Structure 1
Amino acid sequence: MPLPLFLLAVAVFAMGTSEFMLAGLLPDIASDLDVSVGTAGTLTSAFAIGMIVGAPLMAGLARNWPGRSSLLGFVLVFLADHVMGAATSSFPTLVVCRVAAALAYAGFLAVALTTATTLVPPDKKGRALAVLLSGTTVATIAGVPGGSVLGTLLGWRATFWAVAALCLPATIGIVKGIPAGRVRQSAAGGPALRSELAQLKRPRLLLVMLLGATVNAATFAGFTFLAPVVTDTAGLGDLWISVALVLFGTGSFAGVTVAGRLADRYPGSVIGISGPLLLIGWPALAVLADRPVALLALVFVQGALSFALGSTLITRVLYEAAGAPTMAGSYATAALNVGAAIGPLLAAATLSTAVGDLGPLWASGLLVLVALLVAFPTRGVIAAGRSTEVPE
């Protein structure tokens, strides 16, 4: 894999830390800004909504911009938003900061996903995606738990300042590692924007986007509200939240790494194995959540299965969107974040039910079930390797 691909992953690490870090900070934010934990959880959905809107919007705007300049601009905007978020004492202002940061991340990820596929041979998109998403999974292993510890010791604002600081080496990596003339998002010589947007009418593309969104909704439903399960249900101390996040992140890194080697040729096998296991795992986690050893073991397993299945489906989005070379990354980003927006909202609604803190885990299981019910009758489409259709 080429070096510039790993440098892009460094930037994704900084941004992914911010995307996931609220899972360990919600109780602190809720207390400091005088809102409920459920209300604080909407910050995750606000970030996801910003990415849903921002992915196609920013990718469309950046079609004719130099790749390095657009990537650098998005990182700098992301940095500025975290400085503002760290300084605010208003929850609505923090929501606005999260949306604005999401727009910048969406633009960056959409351009980076497209750029990544131009750096490797056409049949290595899954491997390239695995390297890029390793930035996100490493964020869940190191960045998010580290942010949780930092938040526990110094308050949630310190974590926002830390993310802003992480953006600085990311900017250096982009400037030094992405050649100005080699990687461009120019649409010159390629299909028109209208033609690329028309790809969204293709049933195969819409199917894999829907499945990717549903699986990611399940992931975020359980992950966002993991902290109360660790402390209240399992009865562990606050620092064990970081341990659980490390385990989830380690599992996700393992899952996306293994799936990255299989997703190009054997997507049907990855989905057929990880999907049913994931369906069993979320209810099992809910039932065994009061047993710390079982809880922590299942958190690792669910991280691995969630990212193995999710990354495979997103790889399929890139294949099915081959007729949209500058917009394919935005379609994959939008699919991921439709799920990231819906999942926490559904999960938050379960907190006031009889199952309480375990509601999000049951919601995750239900979402995986929906995805599998949709996928089963269309498994022939998903099981295909590279898309062989001629772009419409």
Structure 2
Amino acid sequence: MDYFLTEEQRMIKETARDLTEAKIIPKRAELDERNEFAGELLADIAKADLFAVLVPEAYGGMGVGIFDIVLALEELARGCVGVATSFAACGLGILPILISGSEELKEKYLPAVAEGKSLAAFGLTEANAGSDAAGIRTTAVDGGDCWILNGTKQWITNGGEAQIYSIIALTSPEKGIRGASMFVVEDGDPGFSYGKKENKMGIRASATRELVMKDCRIPKDRLIGRKGHGFITVMKTLDVSRPGIASLGVGLAQAALDEAASYAKQRVQFGKPIISFQAVQHMLADMAIQTEAARGLVYGAARHIDAHPEDASKVSSMCKVFATDAAMKVTTDAVQVMGGYGYMKEYPVEKMMRDAKILQIYEGTNQIQRNVIGQELNREYA
């Protein structure tokens, strides 16, 4: 379908597509098998100037919107959701700085991200705080000339690979989540270390590690925004970032559809290509419908958020749920269309099916997203 992209948007999409075809697709199976962080591919993404889409023009970026970022992520995800997740997580990591950070923090950190010289990560999840963000236990104590952080963050994408970490911690524990604040922690800060690299079902080309802060001392100017406003920053961050996760679902679904349809044209059974059988045609038709419907919702949500960032929660959650559920269904059906071949690692759809599952889980499970949508509807129809 024609989504009336501008010349700049077409350029972003084509650049990401060309890089995916030339660099990501040839390496994705090896990275997955070896559980290896895609550092070289992220360097290729940097050379293509795609990190600039994450950053405003004032700090060396392109100054584009969420919709433009969605276009790049969709194309990268067609190649490998693990690689695309590492890129997306960098954008997630700098969003708190963009939303609430001082001018000094923006000038200090954003130009290096725009050039692809620094990766960022986002530290919210803990052992007892995932869907329930109010369950965080990490603390930050005013140490006079510094902040002293103690706690552990769990399952952090780009953990151990990023140079910049946006971390939420309790500065006034007695106030609960209303006493949380956001900070920038840098790789190499005293008292800051990493746990083991997780061995995941999917997105194995991305790195997932614990972040451990034990009397971690950081300068006072690393506070993002006002003290006690951390949870607000987190909620605004996730509202803006979820279309990016949804776009990973769109790109993955499209890749799975392409593989399944191509296979169905070539695979002959009972003397005919299996795409000629109605049972297979109906599966492919449903896969195509779900993929295009997801794309339309994601694009529409991203454009809405660019125009009305204050009204993001419902549409952000809607597109995340729909597109990632579609990705799970389409990749599962792609394996079914390809039968025994689809189940083998020699073909990419088994990896796609494994990669799809995390999209329904991270950045807020799809069950929690439905809660958000329901709560918004409750307010609208009060």
- TM-score when scaled to structure 1? 0.35
Name the structure with the higher strand share. Answer: 2
Q: With CA pairs under 8 Å and 6+ residues apart, which has the higher RCO, 1 or 2?
A: 1
Q: Kindly name which structure, 1 or 2, has the bigger radius of gyration based on alpha carbons.
A: 2
From the two aligned structures, give the one with the greater helix fraction: 1
